[in-house]
Copies of this chain bind each other. A is one copy, B any other.
Amino acid sequence: QATQLLFELSREGRRAHRLGDLDVPAVDASDLFDSSELAESAPPLPELAEGDVIRHFVGLSTLNMSVDTHFYPLGSCTMKYNPKRNERIASLPGFLNVHPMQDESGLQGLLQLLYELQGMFAEISGLPGVSMQPAAGAHGELTALFVAAAYFREQGSDRNVVLTADSAHGTNPASAQMAGFKTKTVKSNCDGLVDLEDLKAKLDDKTAVFMLTNPNTLGLFDRQIAEINRLVHEAGALIYLDGANMNAILGITRPGDFGADLMHYNPHKTFSGPHGGGGPGAGPICVRDFLTKYLPGPIVTRTENDNATGDEDRYMYHLTRPSEDSIGRVRSFFGNVGVLVRAYIYLRTYGGDGLRHVSEDAVLGANYLLSKVKHFLDVPHGDRCMHEFVASATRLKKEKKLSAMDIAKRILDYGFHAPTVYFPLVVDEAVMVEPTETESKQTLDAFVEALFRITEEGEELIHEAPHSTRISRPDDVTAARRPILKWSDAAGESAS
């Protein structure tokens, strides 16, 4: 059946939304405004009935895999179960329909929540300064680098180099560049950890920040962390922790305790999201005491309420504007509050002990998969990992022309989302698997079974996979060479 575009469903004169009659005197726009300001006609949007719209978008939704429908072991993305209570509570009008320019006196409930959440982020990270303004992980990275830059600027320092690991997420160097830094790459050693010699060689009096992912994108916790901590700080630089992999270490170890001076969280990953098809996320950052004054604001603070009538109003909560030294804003308004509210509910649901169990089960699941997968796929970095691991299809590629991409495509036919492939760059034909703690052993077993079967299947079957999806192997090259980025009436395109 054809998947038509909205624009192809449109018929002139059809309508969904309508307003009632005006209950105030009507105003003719052309009387009020200069004709040069007015459009000759309304924008050429499609014209649809409400039933059109619902069936169209409900139909499209069924073409997605999602956590609610499929196991989604996408490495580095922490596709865990998204609790339904989070959605319900975050949709209460008192959270959902609150205007960002409201006065703090009418926001005591929300500010209390945000205040407590700041405290929880600080406790989990071991870093006391918190800003919840950044809108996503990469935005948090960038913001933290702005903070570092402001710090060095105030120090009168000319440190302008950021070191990133070769296994790091691509956002690390991109953020560093946007924050005005030069970047240098630190190599991984054969264990997949930071090559200390290379780090030493690159650390100098120009180094501002070493950006570290720990556990790293290979799913390995860097056991040299104490040494890294010493080296970087002795060189006068700061350590930034990419918090993408926090799901491995909640309550087990804290970035602030192992040397990080700044970090960001991905609440849409670690604190159950949801991911929303690629967004929204949030990117709250935590920093050490001496960096707190550079944070963007506002920050939530509290004072004792002298007129308290009970527990409920024991404190007054305030939006405190950032200090003079603040880097300013990185987005409008407070931050991605909707995402933060969900993180708060998640953290309250588990509590401190529970959170440690989350990481324990995430680690257990990944190691269990690893213990099975290693029998038929190479796993270059050993048989222990934290919350994810990276296998390599190099051998299969040589022996059977079976690439990481082929595996990813074929596993879709078995009813699983694909693992992350070709990342991190330090592993050839990488297949990066992150099961998370919210999958059953039955599901993990079924996934391993499917993965194994694929390694035994015929080449042709696999090279043409997936077979069960509506489309298969789209032509990315043509898409990029001759981009079609919008529907056009004139193009005379037809659904197929």
Contact = CB atoms under 8 A, between A and B. Distances in A.
A356 to B, nearest CB: 18
A305 interface: no
Contacts of A54: 68, 81, 84
A382 interface: no
A97 interface: no
Interface in A33-53: 49-52
A83 interface: yes
A1 interface: yes
A414 B2 CA distance: 11
Contacts of A84: 50, 54
A81 B442 contact: no
B415 A1 contact: yes
A51 B1 contact: no
A442 B2 CA distance: 13
Interface residues of A, number: 25
Contacts of A51: 81, 438-440
A351 to B, nearest CB: 11
A82 to B, nearest CB: 9
A58 interface: yes
- If over half of A's interface residues share one DSSP class (helix, strand or loop), that class is named, otherwise mixed; here it is loop
A62 B70 CA distance: 12
A69 interface: yes
A70 B1 CA distance: 11
A51 B70 CA distance: 11
A440 B11 contact: yes
B68 A55 contact: yes
Contacts of A438: 49, 51
A217 B14 CA distance: 31
Interface of A: 1, 9, 11, 14, 49-52, 54-55, 58-59, 62, 68-70, 81, 83-84, 414-415, 438-440, 442
Q: Report the 4 A-B pairs with minimum CB-CB distance, sorted nearest first.
A: A51-B81, A1-B415, A58-B68, A51-B438
